[in-house]
A = this chain, B = another copy of it.
Amino acid sequence: MTMDEATAQLRKGGMVAIYDGDEREGEADLVFHASFASPERIETLRKDAGGLICLALDKAIGERLGLPFYTDILAASNLPIAKMECKKAAYGDKPAFSIPVNHKGVYTGITDKDRALTIKKIAELASQTLPESEMRERFMREFYSPGHIFLLIGRGIENRHGHTELTLELARRAGMAGTMVLCEMLGPGKALSRNDAEKYADRNGLVFMEGKELWRK
C-alpha cells in the first residue's frame, strides 16, 4: 500500500520521506525524482530538510557518465592525504560520494536556480540514449568540478541499504530513471527523529516509508 502510494507520488513529481532504520543512520531523507527539480523544490529542501542536497545516480548511469567514486580519485591521486580515505562510516557503510559538479550555465552554483539547473541537466543527459563515448564527452563538456551538487553512486540495494540505494530502488519500482535528489532531514542538533519526520510528511501530504519496505524481498 505505502509502496504504491510512494511510487505514484514520485511519478507525479512529489516528494517522499524515507527513514533508513534505527540500526543504520536513524535518519529520514526528503527525496524526489531529478526530472522534477525546480528552484522552489531546492528551496524546500534547504529550508525544511537542511542537510546536503545530493543527486543519486544508479550504477549504470554512473558508468555511462564515466563517474568514479570520490575515494577512487583520492587513491589514484597518490597524494599523502589519500591515506585519509573513509573506508567505512560509523554506521558501517562505504561512502556513496562521487564528485561535486555544476552545470556550465550556472553563476555561483549554490542558488536554488543554479542547483535546480545542474540537477535537471544531468537528469536530461542521463535520459539520452547515446553511445557511451558521446555520453561521457558531453558530461565532461557540459559540467565542471568542483561544484555544488554532490553526486552519489548507488551500489545496488542488494549491497547497501543507504539512502542512495533506497531512493534509487524507489525510482526503479516506479519505473523511472535512476536519478534521484535527496537531502537529510535535520532537527535541532541531530537528525530529525523518526516521529517528527513522519509528522512533517503527514502535514505536507507526503508518503513516509521505512528502508526495510524497499530492501526486504
Report whether B50 and A46 are in contact in the complex, using a CB–CB cutoff of 8 Å.
yes
Residue of B nearest to A144 (CB): B86
Q: Which residues of B contact A107 (CB under 8 A)?
A: 25, 90-91
Q: Which residues of B contact A99 (CB under 8 A)?
A: 74, 81, 84
Residue of B nearest to A42 (CB): B189
Total interface residues on A, using CB and 8 Å? Answer: 59
A39 at the interface (CB under 8 A from B): yes
Which residues in window 64-83 of A have CB below 8 A to B?
Answer: 66-68, 70-74, 76-81, 83
Instruction: State the CA gap A128–B72 with chains docked (Å).
Output: 31
Report whether A145 and B81 are in contact in the complex, using a CB–CB cutoff of 8 Å.
yes
A188 at the interface (CB under 8 A from B): yes
Instruction: State the CA gap A7–B184 with chains docked (Å).
Output: 34
Greatest chain B CB density within 10 A among A39, A50, A66, A148 is at: A50
A217 at the interface (CB under 8 A from B): no
A36 at the interface (CB under 8 A from B): no
Contact with B along A136-153 (1 / 0, CB 8 A): 100010011111100000
Q: Which residues of B contact A25 (CB under 8 A)?
A: 107-108
Binding site for B on A (CB under 8 A): 25, 27, 39-40, 43, 46-47, 50-52, 66-68, 70-74, 76-81, 83-86, 89-91, 95, 97, 99-102, 106-113, 136, 140, 143-148, 184, 186, 188-191
